[in-house]
Amino acid sequence: MPVRALWWDRGALALLDQRELPGRTVVRRLRSAAQVADAIRRMVVRGAPAIGVAGAYGMALAARSGPKDPARAAELLGSTRPTAVDLFVGIDAVRSAWAAGEDPLEAAHRYRERVVEQCHRIGTAGAPLLARAHGVLTHCNAGALATVEWGTALAPIRVAHDRGAELFVFVDETRPLLQGARLTAWELARERIPHAVIADNAAGHYLRTGAVDAVIVGADRIARNGDFANKIGTYEKAVVAHENRVPFYVAAPWTTFDRQRSSGATIPVEERSGDEVLELAGRRLAPPASRARNPAFDVTPAKYVTAFVTPDGVVRPRELATRLRRRTPG
């Protein structure tokens, strides 16, 4: 069975609780926008495209059970996580349908379909880039769990693997919440794609010694000039890949491109609770007197990106602004 992060189930939004994976498969059924907002904030559902779809269904739930005011519902859902632009795109897709008198639930279904279909096309567009790679590094989880189905960075890996490429995936564990070790490894293991989880600190070693010959990651927000935000640690991997002349690809649906933003300088970076750094699986690691800093994302300048893998093909950073002008939003 393919992995699905969320689905609509008899009047409720069903979410696979990603905090419990890989140990337990727990499904949460949410019936209100407030519950969806809470689930996004607590990262029951996570990953930019997936929280966009959850936000869209949150709006549809608001239309049924309140707040029956589109602006208030959008404010509630949009106040959860600031960095991924997809969240706001998903909320707005349903808000405008609702304002136009259309069925908000139908609009949420359409938004989900659009994201799934775009991620599918990312797989086909990106697979040729990996056809001759042996070691591929990825960071965080940009798989089906982060996008509803298929994934962004994992979609080309899946398609290349299915076509017979002999890929080995290096999976950054991705501290502090371990999306790589827990979620990416879970997805790859289910599909028997050869991989190893590595400590975040080991990526530079494998890039320098030639074991990794391509890097592919997802994104949470991509500015018009190609600067992009992604999980904390992405910037370091991009710099080290550049230093070692290893191609660095960023895979994303059009919902992740923020055409209002000219560069990465003003992308909001979410700061999460220091407890996520100070504790591991509920156990305190650091001395009681220590505090932590916990930016959840960083911004990587476009000069480190070899190419973006979009649903409509591979786009070089210098071509991006023109492509975005030509394409209708979403």
Q: What angle do CA 114, 115, 117 make, to 5 degrees?
A: 65
Buried b (16+ CB within 10 A) or exposed e, 190-222: ebebebebbebeebbebbeeeebbbbbbbbbbb
**Both structure tokens of 182:** 């827990």
Judged by CB under 6 A, the stretch of 44-52, 109-117, 159-167, 240-248 that binds ligand MRU is 44-52
Our CB check for ligand MRU shows the closer of 224 and 272 to be 272
Asked if 219 is part of the footprint of ligand MRU (rule: CB under 6 A), the reply reads yes
Q: In angstroms, what is the minimal distance from the CB of 192 to ligand MRU?
A: 22
> Which three-class secondary structure state does DSSP give residue 190?
helix
Looking at the chain, how many residues does it have? 330
Angle between the N-to-C axes of helices 85-99 and 70-78, in degrees from 0 to 180, rounded to the nearest 10 = 170
List the catalytic residue out of 86, 200, 220, 298. Answer: 220
Judged by CB under 6 A, the stretch of 8-16, 99-107, 216-224, 312-320 that binds ligand MRU is 216-224
> Which three-class secondary structure state does DSSP give residue 19?
coil
Asked if 49 is part of the footprint of ligand MRU (rule: CB under 6 A), the reply reads yes
136's torsion region: left (phi>0), alpha (psi -120 to 50) or beta? beta
Contact at 8 Å (CB) between 126 and 155?
yes
Is 220 annotated in the active site? yes
Cβ within 8 Å of residue 2, ≥6 positions away? 144, 149
Asked if 218 is part of the footprint of ligand MRU (rule: CB under 6 A), the reply reads yes
Using CB under 6 A as the binding rule, the residues of this chain from 74 to 113 that contact ligand MRU are 84
Asked if 267 is part of the footprint of ligand MRU (rule: CB under 6 A), the reply reads no
Q: In angstroms, what is the minimal distance from the CB of 139 to ligand MRU?
A: 7
Among 54, 146, 238, 277, binds ligand MRU (CB under 6 A): 146
- Count of CB atoms within 10 A of residue 41's CB? 14
Asked if 230 is part of the footprint of ligand MRU (rule: CB under 6 A), the reply reads yes
Cβ within 8 Å of residue 207, ≥6 positions away? 137, 215, 237, 240, 241, 243, 244, 246
Our CB check for ligand MRU shows the closer of 184 and 225 to be 184
Asked if 46 is part of the footprint of ligand MRU (rule: CB under 6 A), the reply reads yes
Among 97, 142, 197, 223, binds ligand MRU (CB under 6 A): 142
Asked if 48 is part of the footprint of ligand MRU (rule: CB under 6 A), the reply reads yes
Asked if 220 is part of the footprint of ligand MRU (rule: CB under 6 A), the reply reads yes
* Residues involved in catalysis: 220
Binding residues vs ligand MRU (CB under 6 A):
46-49, 84, 140, 142, 146-147, 152, 179, 218-220, 230-231, 296
